[in-house]
Structures are given as structure tokens and as C-alpha cells.
Amino acid sequence: MISGEKVIQIINEIADKIEENKSYLTELDAAIGDGDHGLNMSKGFRAVKEKLKDDDGKNIGNIFKKTGMALVSNVGGASGPLYGTAFMKAAVVVSGKDNMDIDDFINVLKASIDGVVMRGKAQAGDKTMLDSLIPAYDAAKKAKDDGKDEKEILKEVSTAAINGAEDTKKIAARKGRASYLGDRSIGHKDPGATSSAIILETVYNFIK
């Protein structure tokens, strides 16, 4: 079980990790996109941090809603509305809750994926953030079914997300700017899948 205050701490930690990886994410995007993913994410999460500064942490739904809205309104690139929608859909799942458990987390992950799909119409294998998020969700469900505990589940989630992002090197982009390159995008890691993996790895590292 984690409190809303902890959720805010995790989101702040995510913002810091995004900041640390800003040039890396931008570099990945420079290879197959327009080289702004790190900048977009950094700008977005700085706005999120600012928006959560005075939050009392009492309603996790509100925390996610504020996060989503800050991302949508502060990020120019495709990733802003996509991540923004993910957090806003996640907000609905934990609306009014002042604590969340691992089942809530798994439901949040599922709602986030549904939000990204709804907004961007991509699917697994299109070389997008979904290629990190979907394997992460599948790993969560499997670990849960195998009777693993919270930390073990989050570890599986983190590993699956990292591997999923790595595996985007093998496929050609079919959505987003990278899709203009077609097969020439093969060999490059997708920036959005990488930022998703950073986010989920940060959650695991915080909880462990």
C-alpha cells in the first residue's frame, strides 16, 4: 500500500530521472525523429512538479489528473497528449483513493495503455511507447498470477519495460514521426519506449 504523498514523491523522482536522461532521450529521437523527446519530457515533467508542489496528497486520482493535464498543456510533441491521456485515464481508476496497492497499480497500467491506444491508435509492434508498456503490463499480470509479491511484481514490470524498449531496435516504426523512415528506423531504439521504461524502472527502484 502506498499513500498519495508517496505517489507524489515517485512522480518527482520520475521528473528527476527524465531530467537526467534528457540528452539521451533527445539523442534517440534525433536518430529517428526530430530530436526533441528529451526536451519535451523534461519540459512536461518540470510543469508536473510545479503543479504538484502544493498538493495535499489526499486523492491519488487528482494527483494523476493534474499530472496528465500538465503534460498535455506543456508538451508540444506527440508524447505530451499521449502521456497526458495515459495519466488522465489512470486517474479515473484511483479516483478518490488516498492509498493505492499493487492491484491498483496494475489497473493504472492497463488504463494508461488504453489511453495511449485511444489517443494514438498504435498497437503492439509499431515501435512506440506501447512496446514498453504492453510487455510491462503482461509481466505484471503474470507475476501476480504466479503469486509474487509487490516488489517482485514491480521488478518484473521494470525488466519487461526495459527489455521491451531494447527490442524496439529490431522493428520498423509504423506510427509517429519515425514511421516516415520505414525500415530505416530498424536498429534504433524508440525514444518513447525508452522514456516509458525509465518511468517504470523509477517506480520499482522507489518501492524496493
The site for ligand ADP (CB under 6 A) is made up of: 29, 33-34, 36-37, 40, 77-79, 82, 116, 120-122, 128-130, 175-177, 190-193
How near is the Cβ of 111 to Mg ion at its closest, in Å?
25
**Strand residue runs (E) in the chain:** 2-3, 99-100
Q: CA 160, CA 139: separation in Å to the nearest integer? A: 6
Specify the residue, 7 or 83, whose C-beta has the smaller distance to ligand ADP: 83
3 DSSP β-pair partners = 99
Residue 23 is a binding residue for Mg ion (CB under 5 A)? no
Q: How far apart are CA 11 and CA 133, in angstroms?
A: 17
| Binding partner at 115 among ligand ADP, Mg ion, none, C-beta below 5 to 8 Å by kind | none
Cβ-based nearer residue to ligand ADP, 197 or 203: 197
CB of residue 119 to ligand ADP, shortest distance in Å: 7
Answer for the pair 11, 52: CB distance below 8 angstroms, yes or no: yes
Nearest to 60 by CA among 24, 94, 87: 94
Nearest CB to ligand ADP, comparing residues 2 and 131: 131
Q: Which residues bind Mg ion (CB under 5 A)?
A: 29, 33-34, 36-37, 77
